[in-house]
Structure 1
Amino acid sequence: MVNYQSWLSEIDDNTKLSKLSIPGTHNSAACHTALPSVQCQGESITEQLKHGVRFLDIRVGKLFVGKDVKDLQVIHGKFPVKIPFPLKLTDALKEVYDFLNDNKSEVVIVSIKQEGSDDWDNDNDEFGNLIWDNYIQPNKDKWYLNTDIPRLGDARGKALLFRRFGVKNQEREQQFGFEASYWSYNTTDEDRGSFAVQDFCEVKTGQDLPKKVDYVKEFAKRAQDYINSNDDKLFVNFTSASNFFDKDCWPEPVALAMVKGDIQDTFKKGVGIIVLDYAETDNWKLPKQLVDSNF
């Protein structure tokens, strides 16, 4: 039986991450009291990791109160993921570090994306410099920061930065993790060279959810077909979609639609990263089946 807390320990050191089927979570830290359309998970980052999740999607912005930008808060769009008090990025990352300290065989891919206010001076790398100076550099021993897709043996015990923000400083860019700063909005299948992504999110009504289910299945199949002959591309497949104005398209109903739509029928070794809302749905059914497909 698979131990989901340390399942990567059963995989050979020479295996590239791109060869695996990896459970991920969408807005991973959005598991606290918040607006119902903002909450995307029912369990903490720590619980997600214990149940096999190895890709975390974290969106951050400036604190809403005060001028201090030394720490950032986790947000979903323009809304805080925790009210009335903010969830700080420092605290979200501490959960990752603590898990890896206790499970040194594991690798956690951490996607960090800038959201919220548009008043960053990104021509001068203001956001990137803040992430580097306040979060990465002081914890550099905890991160895998090369720009490649690593073998497991090279990254065990580390958080791998999946960088969803641009960096103008070319010297810094070479030591700032896996570059994933751009893909087209609402894409159903986009190849960016080192990675490919399905992130169709414009679901207008609940009746559109089967279309989203089909996109997830089709992209999982494409990932597997590719990985059978190559291993140099990460496939990132988002199951999330939403319409703020229709509660049938909020994260929890979308998560249920994925289970009912039997996306797990496509789960075979090498389907890439499947990014889930409410990953604990039906006793963690989808993360467990994704992990199991690696064996």
Structure 2
Amino acid sequence: MSSFLSETEDERLLSDVVLPGMLSLIHTIKGVSTHHVWAGTHDSLAFYGWPVSQCQSPDQPLFAQLMCGIRALDVRLSVVDGVLMAYHGSAPQRTSFSAILHTFYHFLQDHSRECLVVSLKQEDYATTSPRVFSRLAREEIERSQGGMGLWWLENRLPRLGEVRGRCIMFSRFGGDGKEWEGGLEGMGIHPTEWPDSKQEGFEWYLKGTSVRTHDWYNIPSLLSLPEKTSLCIQNLVPPQCDPPILGITFLSAAGGALALPPFCALGFGWPSWGFGVEGINVRIGRWLLGRLTSGVSDVDSDKMHWSVTSDQSDTQLLDNSQTQADEISNKAEAIGLEVSELPVRGWVFMDYFAEPDGGLVPLLVENNFILRD
């Protein structure tokens, strides 16, 4: 699990890898033979502040995440007395950016054919100017082991062969980019927009790639988890088209009432007995397992319904509009596929990634190697 990318071809575009990974059935799209899924952790350093601010278990520190197959990290920072420290909102997470960079460097030294997508986000806009934050981030990277040479800083999706042993910067900070050589084109992959918690998701363009992002986290209550799951699944199975689509999907959620990060991810109570709520991790895990064990995606190709429960009388998730269904069906037909054969792919960020039972990341990784030949 700690080196699964080493078996992936150098020519593969980063958009064709599901972190941790899935190889698909699709061929001959812009010279790239198969598509992947990459698994990541949302708020990768948020170990403290349960139940409001904690998003990862303290038993799964950063290095353990990397060894378990996590290849996309969500690092959120604030400035404290001139030093960049990990924060989740206003909650301190007791880890310096320097220590985070040290962990990245040593993992990649020992796993030189792997690579990491590292999202860097400023948390303290109210107290620190974007320009000061940007300068401090650059200076800390310059001082760290490996320096700037450890980082992919072009604003485009690379092929894996270009980024073995490196971190790919995904910059959700920077202001006008003047603190970096090359400006906003020299800060790695830089989103052109990121609206807050947009339920229907949003789309932006990156040098010939359409990036479809689902980051609806502010749900009204735990009763919204089925709808949240539906939208995640929709983004995990994008249509094959030109320009190619990279899906970025956040499974994380928090909001009103009891909709706090651990309850949204893990659920609570005894849902199998009718007392409690299933979390989003087990819902997504069951759906992934169904695809792997059945050979298809448990999909009604007419109405585009995916079931994430074992009982077909239960709520059916992903009830799209007819327009959305027609779009996906038409794209699949154009390349000779049934809708049920559309692959899971993209980058997936999750809370409490090791639950349930350590199974979610391996399910994503396993998809990278099915039907490989």
TM-score by length of 1: 0.86
Which letter does structure 2 place at the counterpart of 1:173?
L
Alignment match, 1:255:
265
CA contact (8 A) 1:237 1:275 kept: yes
Give the partner amino acid of 2:113: S
Separation in 2, partners of 1:56, 1:183: 17
Alignment match of 1:93 (pick from 69, 90, 101):
101
Equivalent residues in 2 for 1:25-64, closer than 5 Å? 25-31=41-47, 33-42=48-57, 43-63=60-80
Residue 232 of structure 1 deviates from its aligned partner by 4.9
C-alpha RMSD of matched pairs (Å): 2.0
**Contact 2:51/2:262, CA 8 A, preserved across alignment:** no
Deviation at 1:134, TM superposition (A): 2.0
1:193 partner SS: strand
Matched, 1:214 2:230: yes
Q: Quick one: distance in 1 between partners of 2:173 and 2:284?
A: 33
Q: Partner letter of residue 15 of structure 1?
A: R
User: Which has the higher Rg, Structure 1 or Structure 2?
Assistant: 2
> Is residue 158 of structure 2 the alignment partner of residue 132 of structure 1?
no
Partner of 1:9: 6
Pick from 85, 103, 118: which aligns with 1:73? 85
Would you say 1:246 and 2:257 are equivalent positions?
yes
2:190 matches 1:179? yes
> Mapping of 1:161-176 within 5 angstroms?
161-169=169-177, 171-176=182-187
- SS, match of residue 120 in structure 1: coil
Contact 2:150 2:167 in 1 (8 A): yes
Give, as a single letter, the amino acid of the residue that structure 2 aligns with 1:282.
Answer: P
1:181 and 1:46, CA in 2 relative to 1: closer, same or farther beyond 3 A? Answer: farther
Aligned amino acid, residue 177 of structure 1: G
Output the amino acid matched with 1:112. Answer: L
Q: Deviations over 1:103-149 (max 9, x none)?
A: 00101000000013513233xx2221221122246511211111110
Go from structure 1 to structure 2 and tell me whether the alpha carbon gap of 1:107 and 1:263 turns closer, same or farther (over 3 Å shift). same
Corresponding position of 1:120: 128
Structure 1 residue 162: deviation in Å? 0.3
* Secondary structure of residue in 1 paired with 2:254: coil
Summarize the Cα distance change of 1:279–1:169 in structure 2 as closer, same or farther, 3 Å threshold: closer
- Per the alignment, in what secondary structure is the counterpart of residue 283 of structure 1? coil
Asked whether the equivalents of residues 193 and 233 of structure 1 are also in contact (C-alpha less than 8 Å), the reply is no
**Amino acid in the other structure paired with 2:42:** H
In the aligned structure 2, how far is the partner of 1:142 from the partner of 1:262? 34
Q: Could you tell me whether the CA contact under 8 Å between 1:24 and 1:56 is conserved in 2?
A: yes
Compared CA separation, residues 118 and 250, structure 1 to 2 (3 A): same
Distance 1:134 1:259, change over 3 A: closer
Q: Which residue of 2 aligns with 1:274?
A: 348
- Distance in 2, Cα, partners of 1:202 & 1:185: 9
Contact map agreement 2:4 2:69 (CA 8 A) in 1? yes
Give the Cα–Cα distance (whole angstroms) in 2 for the partners of residues 269 and 45 of structure 1: 29
How far apart are residue 181 of structure 1 and its match? Answer: 5.7
Counterpart code for 1:151 = R
Residue from 263, 271, 283 that aligns with 2:357 = 283
* Counterpart Cα distance in 2 of 1:47 and 1:181: 32
Equivalent-residue separation in structure 1 for 2:343 and 2:43 (angstroms): 25
Identity of aligned residues (%): 27
Output the CA distance in 2 between the equivalents of 1:164 and 1:136: 19
| Counterpart for residue 313 of structure 2 | none
TM-score under structure 2 length normalisation = 0.69
Q: Which AA in structure 2 matches 1:106?
A: E
Report the AA paired with residue 254 of structure 1.
C
**CA distance in structure 1 between the aligned counterparts of 2:113 and 2:243, rounded to whole angstroms:** 21
Q: Which residue of 2 aligns with 1:155?
A: 163
